[in-house]
Chain A
Amino acid sequence: MSAEPLLKVEGLKKYYPIETGLLRKVTGHVKAVDDVSFELRRGEVLGLVGESGCGKTTLGRCIIRAIDPTAGSARFLPAPGEAVDLAQADRAALKRMRPHMNMVFQDPYSSLSPRMTVRDIIAEPLRAHGVPEAQVGPKVERMAQMCGLNTAQLTRYPNAFSGGQRQRICIARALVTDPVLVVADEPVSALDVSIQAQILNLLQRLQRELNLSFIFVAHDLSVVEHIADRVAVMYVGKIIELADTQDLYARPRHPYTEALLSAVPKPDPDSVDETILLGGEVASAANPPSGCYFHPRCRYATDKCKAEAPALREVSPGHLSACHFAETLQLRGVTPDQD
């Protein structure tokens, strides 16, 4: 693993203007992603968690330039000496980078064209990047096989496949150009429980065999814990905590993470319900509260939290938190249940 990160995101922002009236005057902004910075190491799985509307999907899409960020940089280094700022890159530079990065979406039913055969679906990224036709066939077959699809299935159309198999097709399509960076946006949340495990195992195996770097966006904290090396927690457009998975789950350093972890129901009828109930609603990204965005719901909030916005800083080695009191609060992590 080289010391230089594969991706270095700095000050990334995505603001959506709020337009009102007949003249569509801009009266404010929805700060979907608000000044986010982090690094993604080579061969690492970074989990991105948070509740709906926190900006995790927007962040993933900004990085891969499915949408254009408002400001900031995302320095991408697929190979030594090939650094590109994805946030600012022009069309030509982006096109050169496209084979190195790809995306897997949540809903395998709406992300596959019903009029293309599976072979054509998987081959499309190769053809788009001008790979000679003679190489397309073997590459498609190899990738399909790695994803658990057989050659006979390649001539069929997506409607012949179940959700889990469709997600295998989506994964094969995303990986066929040998990317180094994959943004997976809720890749298993539309699947049945028994199928979810198959796809998680597949992603994990491919990630290790091909040394991929993943940004794994999900709301299911158990799934993220299973697959991620490090986890970033987002709240109202900002990363509020980032740490190694085991460290974050066992010793959270932000009250929001603590509440989030406590709310996951454990599949054990004898486990005590220790949920920390959050009052109020998730703050609006159009009109966030003063100071720390979490302070109206935080049970440890003080006057300082109302006035000053905390910065994301290192509170112990490799553990970042955006809480004024991260060092002093005794927060509860997940206690593993006994068997």
Chain B
Amino acid sequence: MSQPNVAPPVPATPQPLLEVKNLRVVLPLLEGELVASDGVSFAIAPGKTLGLVGESGCGKSITAQSILKIAPRIARTTGQILLHHPDRPPTEIVGLDKSDPALLRVRGGECAIIFQEPMTSFSPVHTIGNQIEETILLHRTRDKREARQLAIAILQKVGIPAPAEALRKYPYHLSGGMRQRAMIAMALASQPRLLIADEPTTALDVTVQAQVLRLMRDLQRDMGMAILYISHDLGVIARMADEVAVMYMGSIVEYAPVRDLFRAPRHPYTRGLMASVPRIGKKSGEPLESIPGNVPIPINKPRACGFFPRCPVAIKGVCDTAVPPLVEVAARQKAACFQYPEVVAAAGLDREIANVR
């Protein structure tokens, strides 16, 4: 068992909509245990956007899937995922049985998800209308005619021209951008309070991406939903998120409001990521700063900082023997790195650090 992240998950904000506490998802594989999510804690306030950043295999998607309990069946999940309600006690999702009616209300109802590839998330043999109305009939009304009207309204809202005709079309009739709009329409059809967006624009061209990003922000403003926005693209995160959690090898290594994160990244991995992206409008001719080594796969992860082998400021004897907890290292900014005395103190390693130095 690796050490859980000690810090409380949220600064004192008003009642969050979603609280994830010490989430741990383990996939038992032939090669060993893959710790996809290793003690992850975060919270999202109503109407706000949390950006979840990281590279492939860092556990960002499986964390999101756990919220809807759609992670792979072999996954062993522990920890708490609390969905708060204004009028009743919160729903704890990790412990729900898969046939529990409360889970069905969460899935596609209170929480909806949109995926990267809209072509694979629609059924190819049902019309767009069928698929959107299904959601509405499940969560909002039993009346078919009303469902049709609501479906038309939501397609109009996401900017699909001639929505009544679009309902009769099949997904392959639509272009990539229109399909992603239809996907968003399907997700929003149930008027969710939380929208999980898992790399929703990665497969799209920049001009279409710009349209979809603006659409999502407009819809968020109108409907007041919270968004968990997963992406590897720092530009998109800068535009969309209020707060950002940076993940590496299953753990959140930095957690901060978006401005603070981009102005002064605290974790060496975040710094490395930002330095390795070429910035538009800044041609220098110099090589990019890059993070050496490869993105590791967290199978049989050692009890150490996951970033240790690639880290430019690693402290030998400390970073390779203990897991740094995620602690506040500056106002509103949390980082999990032993270069900060706050982190060392929280882990109780003051003496070890002194010995190494």
Using a CB–CB cutoff of 8 Å, the interface residues on chain A facing chain B are 51-52, 162, 164-165, 192-198, 200-201, 204-205, 219, 221-223, 225-226, 245-246, 249-250, 259-271, 273, 275, 277-278, 281-282, 333-337
Contact = CB atoms under 8 A, between A and B. Distances in A.
Given A192-B232, A249-B283, A263 B56 contact: no
The 9 closest A-B pairs by CB, nearest first: A265-B235, A197-B276, A197-B290, A226-B278, A334-B281, A336-B281, A51-B205, A263-B210, A192-B55
Contacts of A249: 280-281, 283
A269 B258 contact: yes
B206 interface: yes
A205 B286 CA distance: 10
B49 to A, nearest CB: 12
Contacts of B278: 197, 200, 222-223, 225-226
B234 interface: yes
Contact of B55 (A194, A205, A219, A263): A194
Contacts of B262: 267-269
Contact of A201 (B177, B277, B279, B288): B288
A281 B175 contact: yes
A312 to B, nearest CB: 21
Contact of B290 (A201, A223, A225, A281): A201
Interface string B212-233: 0110000000000000000011
A259 B207 contact: yes
A134 B235 CA distance: 50
Contact of B274 (A200, A204, A262, A267): A267
B332 interface: no
B142 interface: no
A339 B234 CA distance: 16
Nearest to A273: B239
Contact of B206 (A164, A264, A333): A264
B209 interface: yes
Given A194-B295, A219-B205, A264 B280 contact: yes
B282 interface: yes
B238 A268 contact: yes
B281 A337 contact: yes
Contacts of A192: 55-56, 232, 295
13 contacts: A52-B205, A193-B273, A194-B55, A194-B295, A195-B290, A197-B277, A267-B234, A267-B279, A268-B238, A269-B258, A278-B207, A335-B281, A336-B279
Contact of A193 (B55, B176, B258): B55
Nearest to B290: A197
Contacts of B280: 221-222, 225, 249, 261, 264, 266, 334
B281 A194 contact: no
Contacts of B288: 197, 200-201, 226
A219 B206 contact: yes
Contacts of B177: 281
A275 B279 contact: no
A277 B279 contact: no
B26 to A, nearest CB: 22
B209 A263 contact: yes
Contacts of B214: 273, 275, 277
Contacts of B236: 265
B211 interface: yes
Contacts of B126: none
A200 B290 CA distance: 10
B107 to A, nearest CB: 30
A213 B274 CA distance: 29
B277 A265 contact: no
Contact of B295 (A195, A267, A334): A195
